[in-house]
Amino acid sequence: MPVPVYERILDLLGAEGINTLFGIPDPGFIHMAMTAQKRGWNVIAPHHEQAGGFMADAWSRLTGKPAVCFGTQGPGVANLAAAMICAAKENAPTIFFGGQRSRAAYQRARRGRIQYVDQVANVRPIMKYVGIIEQADQCDEIIREALRQVTAGRPGPAYVELPLSVIQESFDWPPIVPPEKYRLVHQAAGAVAVAQALDLIRRAKNPVLLVGQGAFTSRCQSAVGELARVMACPILQTSGGGMVIEGMEDRTFAYGFSPAGRAAAEASDLCVALGTELGEPVHMGIGRHWAKNDAHRKWIYVERDAMAIGVNRPIDVPLVGDLRDIVSQLVAPLRDFPRSPSAEFDQWIALQKEFKAGLRAAVPSGGTPVHPARFIVEATKDLPVDTVLAVDGGAITIFGWTYSQYVPRELVWNQNAGHLGTGLPYAIGAAIATERKKPVVLITGDSSFMFHIAELETAVRKNLPIVCVVACDYAWGLEVGVWRKQVGHDSPETEAHWSHSVRFDKIANGFGASGEYIQQEQDIAPAIQRALASGKPTVIHVPIDPVANAMEAPNYEEFKSWYTDFNAGYGRDAY
């Protein structure tokens, strides 16, 4: 029986376990959205397509599946542009569907075509794959190629264009087949390389695991935790992988932002890196905290993209493939030959506890407005263990790296691109991905919160358990610090501030969400508990000390060291 193209697309996506669509249904997509809803899928319409793209990214991170987002021809696809760029930078396996004029209109030489843009030419440079379904019978080929591209090698986005003249055409399709029939679903490393890696691990005296975001977005964090256990070693978090694997809390240290993390990196004679690009935030595995012992340290790199091997630093044993397969290749043989922890291992654990206790004791208290370090402590100290944490902002995020009292097992933030405004959309995508069964708490600055504040209505409409805790300095706080450090305290700080009359709690009420205005530090945690107990979207507005926020960001030099532009040279010379 013939089936329309839009329905066939849903069948193909469903074979991959995808059951969620993000996008604003317009004349080109209303039938797809309606059919998906009838099937019991989640269909989420944001108020801006860009926000929909960010929601899709977060949904993918927490499900381990490719995400789907769509936008109408012309302005809808234009609004998706920033989300597309971020998806490419964040290695997000998102398929973006774009509507388009019929093929007849597409090919006309006449000028003044309404709502027409050459979308393919604009998006091609940032996509792993671009396809146009020009005939109904191309649907399977192009959708499967998009799925193949976003999941193969290093993940990334694809764009599929759906002309109005095609999307509702019908065709007599062959039976749906499972993913393993048309794409690679497993990719183990070669036996020789695995044997070499196992030999290095067994001979190492001070091994470390450097774990990035990919270990979590691939949903294999428990296997990575088992690898850390059998290796009897610490886990170093990258800034993008700031989550903690259950049961591994005591041995997990932030690379660069904790003395235990720095000490473990410096003393290591073997680093097994997985789920990370070995980029600037970890000094490419060469500079700063790696430099001291670099000549005596071996590297094992688990990476899906063979072209990434040896680019940022030499690698002794590359394990090319999917870390979901490779980690098990390492764990199974190591179980039979358990290692003992190094002499320094317990010292690092003790150092981490001492460091955290010292931080808590030194946090300023009693000020009004609230000091940003105290804001972070109070906002994170009593969160439920299953809370999904979303973060957004500039200075307040840097404070969060150091002072957060919560060790999240799930964290969503835009680390690679550094794109402000992702926080609320990420929180919404995470709440949808967890089927509203886990609380989601967003810790954000006020400037970033305003980017997509309209999505509060989306959270209310979908009845999502999201609590937004907004640190308000009524300014671009990180930029104010830059003004004062580079120009001077008497700098004009042009357009860096805005009105103190902004009240996010009242704005939240206008969207149908709950809102609270909190001025005292001791009232922050109870307000969050009330919001969590309600299960309703809530915004908590907390004024913070603007001077401290701009000038006292902790570990700022560590953050600045990510940018090799500030130093001459490459590799260790740049740090």
Q: What are phi and psi of 203, to 5 degrees?
A: -90, -10
pLDDT in tens, 198-242: 999 999 999 999 999 999 999 999 999 999 999 999 999 998 888
Query: What local confidence, expressed as pLDDT, does residue 415 receive?
Result: 86
Does an H or E element contain 262, and which? helix 259-267
Query: What local confidence, expressed as pLDDT, does residue 447 receive?
Result: 96
Alpha carbon 383 to its chain's center: 20
Average pLDDT (352-377) is 95
CA dihedral 170, 171, 174, 180 (to 10 degrees): -60
pLDDT in tens, 413-455: 998 888 999 999 999 999 999 999 999 999 999 999 999 999 9
pLDDT for 572 beyond 70: no
Angle at which helices 49-63 and 81-89 cross, to 10°: 30
Q: Are 473 and 445 in contact (CB under 8 A)?
A: yes
pLDDT in tens, 519-563: 999 999 999 999 999 999 999 999 999 999 999 989 888 888 888
Assign 570 a pLDDT band (cuts: 50, 70, 90): low
pLDDT in tens, 427-438: 999 999 999 999
Assign 269 a pLDDT band (cuts: 50, 70, 90): very high
pLDDT in tens, 465-492: 999 999 999 999 989 988 898 898 888 9
Cα–Cα dist 157/149, whole Å: 8
Is the pTM of the predicted complex or chain greater than 0.85? yes
Average pLDDT (93-119) is 81
Number of CB atoms found within 10 A of residue 365's CB: 13
Instruction: Say which residue the tokens 């405004």 belong to.
Output: 421
Cα–Cα dist 279/190, whole Å: 25
> Could you tell me where the DSSP H helices lie in 126-258?
139-151, 164-167, 191-203, 214-217, 221-231
Average pLDDT (312-337) is 95
Average pLDDT (250-257) is 95
Query: In a 3-state reduction of DSSP, which class is residue 564?
Result: helix
pLDDT in tens, 24-36: 998 889 999 999 9
The chain-wide mean pLDDT, for the chain, equals 94
Q: What are phi and psi of 526, to 5 degrees?
A: -60, -35
Contacts of residue 559, defined as CB under 8 A and 6 or more positions apart, other chains included, come to 398, 553
Cα–Cα dist 320/413, whole Å: 27
Query: In a 3-state reduction of DSSP, which class is residue 340?
Result: coil
